[in-house]
């Protein structure tokens, strides 16, 4: 059950969104918590038991690579078991009815694509865990293949071709952001007429610049999050609660109007 205030806010946001022709969604870890993948801030999750490995340490230090792959070994089954939830499904529906330009995501879990958003309409700012990549020759491997090798005792997997270090195709702390994805995200943010931010604290930069850019270019800004975010004061509509509950209702009401 949603309360009366939220209900009224939802209807107002749906009315405003109905007028938009080019909607861009911007998603963070909060869109996937209802699929069983904790965000960094949830207590007791995998992230509280491991320190992130800095990119420079990964490059320079065998022990850092061993620690990194011990963490990935634990992470992989959780990501592989996760299924899209109502929030992912609602965004796939928005694309099917021709109203969603793209999803710009900070997530590495691939759940937007699994829900049905087209590959070329998902911009991954922090890379993906679906693949691993050799940092020397750039050969790509499905993550399931590397996970199997780690499970068989290869603590620090290396490239079969050139012997270079293999890392998940995600952006680690200290690693440069993918230029092409950032440029595409900035272009689409500047051209959209509504930006829907879902499950992001909007404090992780430079990714959080993207919704701010949309707003500066005159887009309607709608935020769905269960806690206050860094851009609430800028938003036209703030809907506080569970993404998997609120987003389907928003799309439902919008589609009906």
Please identify every residue annotated as catalytic: 126
* CB within 8 Å of 214: residues ≥ 6 apart: 24, 26, 189, 190, 192, 195, 221
Binding characters for ligand NAD, 64-103, by CB under 6 A (x = yes)? ----------------------------------------
Q: Which of 200, 210, 220, 239 binds ligand NAD (CB under 6 A)?
A: 200
Half-sphere exposure of 181 (CA within 13 A, CB side): 21
Binding status of residue 126 toward ligand NAD by CB under 6 A: yes
Nearer to ligand NAD, 159 or 198 (CB): 198
Cis peptide before 19 (omega within 30 of 0): no
Binding status of residue 128 toward ligand NAD by CB under 6 A: no
Binding status of residue 219 toward ligand NAD by CB under 6 A: no
Q: Which of 72, 100, 107, 182 binds ligand NAD (CB under 6 A)?
A: 107
Binding status of residue 242 toward ligand NAD by CB under 6 A: yes
Binding status of residue 114 toward ligand NAD by CB under 6 A: no
| Sheet (strand 220-225) strand order | 122-124, 100-105, 23-27, 194-198, 220-225, 237-240
- Whether 223 and 208 have beta carbons less than 8 Å apart is answered as no
Cα–Cα separations (whole angstroms), residue 160 to 91, 140, 163, 166: 38, 11, 6, 10
Binding status of residue 41 toward ligand NAD by CB under 6 A: yes
Please give the residue whose beta carbon sits closest to ligand NAD in the complex.
Answer: 30
Residues in contact with ligand NAD by CB under 6 A are 28-30, 32-34, 37, 39-41, 106-109, 126, 199-201, 203-204, 225-227, 242-243
């Amino acid at each position: 059950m949603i309360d009366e205030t939220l209900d009224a806010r939802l209807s107002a946001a749906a009315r405003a969104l109905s007028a938009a022709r080019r909607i861009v969604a911007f998603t963070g870890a909060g869109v996937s918590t209802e699929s069983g993948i904790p965000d960094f801030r949830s207590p007791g999750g995998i992230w509280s038991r491991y320190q992130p490995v800095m990119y420079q340490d990964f490059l320079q230090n065998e022990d850092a690579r061993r620690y990194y792959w011990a963490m990935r070994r634990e992470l992989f089954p959780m990501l592989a078991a996760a299924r899209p939830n109502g929030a992912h499904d609602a965004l796939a529906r928005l694309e099917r009815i021709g109203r969603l330009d793209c999803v710009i995501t900070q997530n590495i879990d691939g759940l937007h694509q699994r829900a049905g958003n087209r590959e070329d309409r998902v911009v991954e700012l922090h890379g993906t865990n679906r693949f691993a990549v050799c940092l020397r020759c750039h050969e790509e491997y499905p993550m399931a293949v590397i996970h199997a090798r780690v499970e068989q005792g290869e603590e620090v997997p290396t490239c079969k071709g050139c012997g270079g270090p293999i890392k998940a195709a995600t952006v680690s702390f200290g690693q440069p952001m993918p230029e092409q994805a950032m440029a595409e995200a900035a272009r689409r943010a500047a051209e959209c007429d509504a930006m829907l931010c879902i499950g992001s604290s909007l404090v992780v930069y430079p990714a959080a610049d993207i919704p701010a850019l949309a707003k500066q270019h005159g887009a309607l800004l709608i935020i769905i999050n269960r806690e206050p975010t860094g851009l609430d004061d800028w938003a036209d509509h703030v809907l506080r609660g569970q993404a998997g509950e609120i987003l389907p209702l928003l799309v439902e009401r919008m589609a009906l109007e």
